[in-house]
Chains A and B, each alone.
Chain A
Amino acid sequence: MDRIWYDLAGKTTRENTHELNNVFAIIKECAGLIQDHLSMDMNSESTFYKKTNNSVKTIENQISRGMEIAKNLNLLAHVIGLDRGKQENLYEIVRLAISLTQASWKKKGVNICIKSSGASSEFVNLDSVLLHTVIFLVLSVLLEMSSSGSSIKAFLKEKDNYINLHLISNDRNLAPEAESVKLKLLEQSLVSLNGIMNIIKNPFSMVLAFPKKTF
């Protein structure tokens, strides 16, 4: 039943993203056409030209913003539709999860980024949907608890047969709340399925360990 639901969610997201891209394509070409006519027919020093030109540029910038969201949703849709148990690139999954969750928590002003991977291999051998669920859940709980203006850095590190995802926050007030992240994962029965999770307090640091893919 889960598989049917994931396939449906993946297909719906993919097809709607495709439609969104078509909408953006129309708006972008129409904005481009307005700009073409402006450049040809108007005095570039006139107030009308400047104001219209600025508006067109705003439209184009917003399209770029929308395209980035659509691109991430499309990636997510492809991930949902992947075969279960397929090898997964952890770096790409975390990057995607950050991009999608950040858009939702932007108003809080919490910055989160992933540094380039220090691991020689980034592939882990876990169910793709489960892996995404864990990472989205951890990031969203972390972002929800973080104070405005704080930042979280993510990076990967290889250790024995695991690839560790380190999440380090500069928010000193976050440390006492850290256990709740663990509890949240335990509630959802996700920790035991995904190897070891350690929480080191002050400065706030969390490590999620994922079994490395053996080729």
Chain B
Amino acid sequence: MKNLKILLVDDEEKFISALADRLRLRGFIVTTELDGEYAIEKIETESFDVMVVDLLMPRMGGIELLKRIKYSGIDTPVILLTGHGSSKEGIQGMKLGAYDYLMKPIAFEELLDKLYKASSAN
């Protein structure tokens, strides 16, 4: 299986650092960004198989980033992360075109499953 290229976007540096390391140990090629603005700059120059985006971030949140991605015509699947403990925000994101959502703290195996499914759906 091809090594998937993943873009992780979250302002919680320690969280994405550990998550990125865990994914790299499993063969994923992972890039991390700390907010939506940086992520936009990144996806303008590089393509990814799947993006994992936190909803609540300074400067540009996950929903705004998702809208910008869709508006730009980029078809990379987006998996949203929500720390609010309810599915409301995740469902709202899916209505705007997100592939799926996960609640924080995430179940790692579930994330892996969604990454593979999202990349094959693409």
User: Bound pair: A and B?
Assistant: yes
Chain A contact residues, CB within 8 Å of chain B: 14, 17-19, 21-22, 24-30, 32-33, 36, 40, 63, 67, 70-71, 74-75, 78
Q: A18-B56, A21-B105, A32-B22 are in contact. Are A26 and B14 (CB under 8 A)?
A: yes
- Is B68 at the interface (CB under 8 A from chain A)? no
- Number of B residues with CB within 8 Å of any CB on chain A: 18
What are 13 A-B interface contacts by the 8 Å CB criterion? Answer: A14-B84, A18-B85, A21-B84, A21-B105, A22-B83, A26-B12, A26-B18, A27-B105, A29-B18, A74-B84, A74-B86, A75-B85, A75-B86
Among A22, A40, A67, the one with the most B-chain Cβ atoms within 10 Å of its Cβ is A22
Chain B contact residues, CB within 8 Å of chain A: 12, 14-15, 18-19, 21-22, 25, 56, 83-86, 103-106, 108
Residue from A24, A28, A33, A67 in contact with B21 in the complex, judged by beta carbons closer than 8 Å: A33
Q: Across the interface, do B12 and A22 meet the contact criterion of CB distance under 8 Å?
A: yes
Q: Hey, which chain A residues are within 8 Å of B15, CB to CB? A: 22, 25-26, 29
Q: Hey, which chain B residues are within 8 Å of A74, CB to CB? A: 84-86
Q: A26-B15, A26-B18, A78-B86 are in contact. Are A36 and B106 (CB under 8 A)?
A: no
Q: Across the interface, do A33 and B22 meet the contact criterion of CB distance under 8 Å?
A: yes
What CA separation (Å) do A30 and B12 show in the bound complex? 13
Give B54's nearest chain A residue, CB to CB. Answer: A22
Q: Across the interface, do A25 and B22 meet the contact criterion of CB distance under 8 Å?
A: no
Q: Hey, which chain B residues are within 8 Å of A36, CB to CB? A: 21-22, 25
Given contacts A17-B85, A28-B106, A29-B18, 13 further A-B contacts (CB under 8 A): A14-B84, A18-B56, A18-B83, A19-B83, A21-B85, A21-B105, A26-B12, A26-B14, A29-B19, A33-B21, A36-B21, A36-B25, A67-B105
What CA separation (Å) do A40 and B18 show in the bound complex? 16
- Smallest CB-CB A-B distances: 8 pairs: A29-B18, A74-B85, A25-B105, A21-B83, A28-B105, A25-B104, A24-B105, A26-B15
Give A29's nearest chain B residue, CB to CB. Answer: B18
Write the nearest CB–CB distance from B9 to chain A, whole angstroms. 14
Give B17's nearest chain A residue, CB to CB. Answer: A29
Write the nearest CB–CB distance from B79 to chain A, whole angstroms. 14
Among B22, B83, B84, the one with the most A-chain Cβ atoms within 10 Å of its Cβ is B83
